Structure 1
Amino acid sequence: MLFLRHIIKNSFLGMCNVLCSKNKLIGKEKPLQARVERWILLKRNRASCFGSSRASITVETSLVFPVFICVLCCFMALAQMVLIETEVHYAASQTAKVCAQKAVVQQPQNARGVFFSIYEGGSLCENLIDGGKRGISIHSTLLEGEQLQIKAAYTLKVPVPFFSGLRFRKKTTVKRRIFSGYVKHWGEYEEAGDNQIVYVAENGVVYHKDSSCSHICLKITGSAAIQEVLHSSKYAACEKCIKKGKNPSALFVTAYGDCYHSTLGCSGLKRTIKAVKLKDVGNLRPCSRCASGR
């Protein structure tokens, strides 16, 4: 009996130990599973956050990228429009130059032909100008003061999506003086009035509007004519410009002077001719050569 009781007691204790050991193992496994589950949950949360951030970046890109493309197209269109304006202005300037040289101002079709012979246009012109080259109108006008005016008018289109219906009316104007010659002091006599400067020789009876008029300053050339003046009793050698022992190649004398000169810039010659205002000439009449009819 004692032996059987001992066996039962040992068996019961062994079972208890086994159960306790199992409980200990189970108690140790529960925290590990919790950590694993927590790690899996954290990974899922991170994946969902990363996916949402990627989705937000994709949405922002889809919204900003079209705006960026539109702005870029606007800048490119602006550059093309400026290029068209520059080309048209250059062609109009060259047209005015050619027409001014040839004085073709009464025939606008000639100015138009000159313009289109200079301006070639191209695909850019056809795309940006309403009507292409035919949409450019050329007008030439003769203004006062012998000025030629060339006008080029056209309509620009905006080559940008959603703005293709916009139109801008452009105009360029170029002025050139006609090559009709040059008149020295043109308009001087009409504008000066009584304050105009005229020239009067000493003891003269007329006034001159040109200081080099042959009536007040005569240039003598040729050896025979020079010898005649040198041996004349009417004229003496100027002490300022005539040097002894030298024979001048030309002489300058005035109708009312008593000396001959070797240069037109001699101060003695200048003292013989006075510059005065027209209102101060008194009863002197105008010179028949340089002042009559003005």
Structure 2
Amino acid sequence: MAFPGERTVNYGKEECSLWQKGSLTAESAVVLPVFFLAVVCLVSMLDLYRTEILLQSALSEAAKELGMYAYCVEDDRDSPVGAVTQAVCIAYGTKKVREELQDADLIGIDPKDMLLLESDYEEEMVSLKAVFFYQCPIPFFRSFPVKIQVLGQARAWTGYHGKKYGKGAAEEIVYVTDWESVYHTSRDCTHIQLKIQAVSSLDAQERTNEYGNPYQPCGKCCSGGKVNGTVYITTSGDCYHSSRTCQGLTRHVHAVKKSETETMRICTRCKGG
């Protein structure tokens, strides 16, 4: 029974309400840090995956380039690096990685901090191993770097027996393409390193190549004669093509010994240049 002017207080409901508020506060204090940590882990994994992909590509490309010159000996003019040794692998690999990654806008690493000291050339295999410490892009977690190793390998171009030509008679390497009757002494010959441009058919008919010769319809992809729309030309070619994948624009280059090209003649551009 309540008298006038008196207030009845329900302590049971008030206590229950306070307990519920306290429970929500405790849950928030646990869930929010866990959620934040999960987001940090996801961001770090994605950034690390991107970094490893870019680094793997750069290392593999550098290993392939070194493998192309593994047959050379010291002071060989055909090789920009001389004989391929461990020191050359380290220096060339480091230079290549820094060039490839300098514009990649990496967050967790600095390309200048990468070490390739474990790179080597042995058993006809070029191995470039990069070691670096990855730091989480979130400032608070940058104090806990993780050591990462990425390996890029390529087999040396030394033939079946894996011997450098320096101990015997030098065997010149030349380059051939499928379905062609000529060989090239330079890998950079414009016959095999094509610079393809997309232009209109009218523009192609009015242009001339670098030798002053007009462009004619390709006999393979322009069988009907002149075509309308976009066509493809090269600065050194004499035809325009309706298809970017035309055989006239495709080159599959193979490095072979010159002694294997006895039935072929030398490319006129390589011979003249």
For normalisation by structure 1, the TM-score amounts to 0.41
Q: Choose 1 or 2 for highest CA Rg.
A: 1
For normalisation by structure 2, the TM-score amounts to 0.43
**Greater relative CO, 1 or 2 (CA 8 Å, sep 6+):** 2
Q: Which has the higher helix share?
A: 1
